[in-house]
Amino acid sequence: MSDEKLAQMTLNSEFLCQAEIDLQEGEPLLGPSLWHNRRISNIVGGTITGPRLMGRILESGADWSRSGVLEDGTVNTMLDVRSVWETDDGAQIYVTYSGRLVIPAAVIPDFIDPAKVEEMDPAEYYFRTLPTFETGAPQYDWLNHIVAVGLGQRTPSGVRYRIFQIL
């Protein structure tokens, strides 16, 4: 492919689903270590709704994120999440994702307050994921072959993602 043709290419996407993930209440496990702040937040359930995927998120995994604080007080987090989703027709899908959560210092108090987080504009922080799907269910084999991106939002009980397949 020529450089000119490559320069003309664009990314298109198709909405797959919205995932509402509930995390265990209370403080995440671990905390500061010698290298960074390691947070382990256990997944305790959730729902999946959308035109191509419907079902629930099993109590099956966690987010093993690690964070650092920049000089200006911004929190920069690298996500490392593993979970199992079960579709309405009984198929199980292993879902992993990495990503970034960047929270400016000025919005951290609202971001960590469950009473205020729902009122926040998700544009006040950067929250993106790269989900990868793995399944043996023939009707969802197409998930084994796609690239997806999630737009994240903090909720009072966990996180919400709008997930798109990159075409």
CATH number at residue 28: 2.40.160.20
Does 2 map to a domain?
Answer: no
Confidence of residue 5 (pLDDT cuts 50, 70, 90): confident
Strands (E), the chain: 13-23, 29-32, 37-49, 55-57, 62-69, 75-87, 92-103, 126-134, 147-155, 158-166
Does 131 map to a domain?
Answer: yes
Does 86 map to a domain?
Answer: yes
Does 5 map to a domain?
Answer: no
Alpha-carbon distance 166 to 70, whole Å? 31
Does 33 map to a domain?
Answer: yes
The whole-model pTM stands at 0.90
- Structure confidence by residue, pLDDT tens digits, 22-44: 998 866 655 666 566 778 899 99
Number of domains in the chain: 1
Does 105 map to a domain?
Answer: yes
Both structure tokens of 100: 């970034």
Range of the domain at 133: 13-166
